[in-house]
Structure 1
């Protein structure tokens, strides 16, 4: 998955690092997140892959009335995340990950970086139960709000919740050899860790 897609999904799910700068403060104020920073500039992830690109073309290319380069709707982001996880065989049953497939795929693609593979696998594992709980809360709220309404989202938000959580968890536990040491990244990591983003 490309860093921009990860960031986009995270932003849409409300787990991004945005709004006002808080440089110079010794404690983190969770009500005032630090200045927006692209997580991929602080912690290198796996980069672009063929599955993510194909899903982006299929899902984003099929959306009518979408501004090119603009953020997709929540439903479109959910479908993109679902496409990525199902095509990669990371998820085979609704709301259930296949951690063996995740570890196997990551090990094959990153055979020279076992630390990255282990960190990502642990992030997926840690986020699965939390993502299932968040989905249950969202579905309960939607059912209360949509009584009498027929429109349902095209795709379950589970995959988007899962990817947002996984990449925030990976960011919090970024391997040293993939981390960029600077004040902006350190502040972003402190905010994500102290304010409970991710799992």
Structure 2
């Protein structure tokens, strides 16, 4: 599962939509998103690494009972995100990121792209407190529901990854951005509708 797929799944885990905003001549209706575009086609991310691949095989392989070809369940997405962040040592406590490890890992993997490292590190940093608040709201809503199913994994990691990739998308370095109308519309929607941190 690519980071952009995790991004799309994580959107389902509690990213709220706001109201109308204007971007240039285009009216953005935050209740009606534009046609989905794979964020990685607009803003190249770091791609899959070995850790993400191993987590995808382990978590998605264990969830093979769900319908084939469809997106994973929210619980499976939460477990996948948790596996990726804990295996990468990006989380040091249940709801606390280790920003030093994140910067160090990204710097080692992308030593020739400091703009990417800075954009991603800033996105993680900005998203940590927002993700903690979203998790608290999510857990509060879940407690209010009478028929709740126990979760195997905390949604915190998925919320962090969803927010991080939205922040990265909004602040994509120029050399990683694809200039076209569809990408511009997607960026306007994400930016104007308050998605991310």
The answer to whether the superposition gives a TM-score over 0.5 is yes
Number of equivalences: 191
CA positional deviation for 1:13: 2.8
CA positional deviation for 1:124: 0.3
Tell me, which stretches of 5 or more residues in structure 1 are unaligned? 18-23
Task: Measure the CA separation in 1 of the matches of 2:52 and 2:117.
Answer: 18
CA positional deviation for 1:142: 1.1
2:159 is matched with 161
Asked whether the equivalents of residues 90 and 99 of structure 1 are also in contact (C-alpha less than 8 Å), the reply is yes
Give a deviation string over 1:5-30, Cα, whole Å, max 9, x none.
Answer: 3344234336599xxxxxx9622121
Task: Measure the CA separation in 1 of the matches of 2:145 and 2:108.
Answer: 44
Paired residue for 1:173, among 165, 171, 174?
A: 171
Does 1:75 pair with 2:75? yes
Give a deviation string over 1:140-182, Cα, whole Å, max 9, x none.
Answer: 1111224xx6842000000000000000000000000000000
Does 1:111 pair with 2:108? no
Asked whether the equivalents of residues 6 and 158 of structure 2 are also in contact (C-alpha less than 8 Å), the reply is no
1:21 is matched with none
In the superposition, the TM-score normalised over structure 2's length comes to 0.90
Give a deviation string over 1:73-128, Cα, whole Å, max 9, x none.
Answer: 11000000000000000002001000000000000000000000000000000000
CA positional deviation for 1:64: 4.3
Tell me, which stretches of 5 or more residues in structure 2 are unaligned? 18-23
Which segment is superposed worse, 2-11 or 126-135?
2-11
2:50 is matched with 50
Question: Which of 1 and 2 has higher RCO (CA within 8 Å, sep 6+)?
Answer: 2
Task: Measure the CA separation in 2 of the matches of 1:137 and 1:10.
Answer: 15
Task: Measure the CA separation in 2 of the matches of 1:178 and 1:16.
Answer: 27
In the superposition, the TM-score normalised over structure 1's length comes to 0.89
Task: Measure the CA separation in 1 of the matches of 2:4 and 2:188.
Answer: 21
CA positional deviation for 1:4: 4.7
Measured on the aligned residues, the alpha-carbon RMSD in Å equals 2.1
